[in-house]
Amino acid sequence: MAASDELRSLTRAFTGLGVDEKALISTLGKWHPEQRQSFRKGSRDFFREDERQFERWDDRHILQLRHEFLRLKDAIVLCTMHPWERDSRLLKEALYKGPQYHVLVEIACTRSSDDLLGARKAYHSLFNHSVEEDVAFHLHTPHKKLLVALLSSYRYEGPKVNDEIAKIEAKAISEAIKAGGSSSPLENDDVIRILSTRNKVHLKAVYKHYKEITGNYLDQDCDDSHLILKETVQCLCAPETYFAKILEASLRYNVDELTKEAVSRVIVSRADEDMKQIREEFNRQFGVDLGKKIEDVANGNYRDFLLTLVARSD
């Protein structure tokens, strides 16, 4: 391989999601000190000239590489965990990294009633208190009331729907959103009750009637000030839309570390659930196959592990 090709290969191994360990070993293992120096001098994205006249790693990139080397390990740990433990740990991290409201919504609204209950039990065992208690104590925003209700939910999962009640509840939600001003739908008791107690088949009927009443889909009427409401509706009524959006954002170049973490979380947790529907929606929204996007952005064994999980839906 020509020197210029080796430089490109090594740079590619350091960028994207994960690290291409095979490329690192094959290139660095045979380089002489002069070649490594040439790489440092020619890679200003990674190195900078120190005042004492040597090329030093940029501290930000050292931290980034540490994250990328650990990415495969973290994905494998998530994959081998019991789903209840996995979700309870994700909930705990979501509270202390940000907090990440959308992860709380995601777990509360896309898991079955039994799996959400199991995650709450695991949270008790691991952290000696409840996730609802942690949310109520740590969050001081209009989101708190809705999040506590969603995480406390144990929904009926049968097929029965009362269409007349669904129409009434669609109208109640539309009026809460239309009210605007100081009256936030995130604090409206009827909105919280409907979203946190109704089964998902019923909520899809509410979603349909909302469109008939207003001419818009419910998540379309939720602007950035009501982002948690928008994500709650999508997770309950169209989870493939939500997950496709989250994956697309996390598979971009140069996004922050918290955003990147969604790749492992979503693919590991949905591989045995609804990955086929997520792939179809990803293709529909963004015009590219999810597997192809992962191949373009991710590296090495991490990329191969993700592709193996995604391929289960074939």
Counts of helices then strands in the chain (DSSP H, E): 18, 2
The H or E element that residue 177 is part of is helix 163-179
Do residues 286 and 251 make contact, with C-beta atoms less than 8 angstroms apart? no
CA 42 to CA 1: how far, in whole Å?
18
- The b-or-e profile of 108-147 (16+ CB within 10 A means b, else e) is bbbbeeeebebbbebbeeeeeebbbebbeeebeeebbbbb
**29 annotated to a ligand binding site:** no
CA 207 to CA 173: how far, in whole Å?
10
**14 annotated to a ligand binding site:** yes
Q: Which two tokens stand for residue 102?
A: 């959308």
Do residues 296 and 258 make contact, with C-beta atoms less than 8 angstroms apart? no
**18 annotated to a ligand binding site:** yes
Q: What does 54-90 look like in DSSP terms, one character per residue? A: SEEE-HHHHHHHHHHHHHHHHHHHHHHS-HHHHHHHH
Q: Which two tokens stand for residue 230?
A: 């928008």
CA 305 to CA 310: how far, in whole Å?
9
**3-state SS class at 314:** coil
DSSP 17: B
Annotated binding site, which residues? 14, 16, 18
Annotated binding site for Ca(2+), which residues? 14, 16, 18
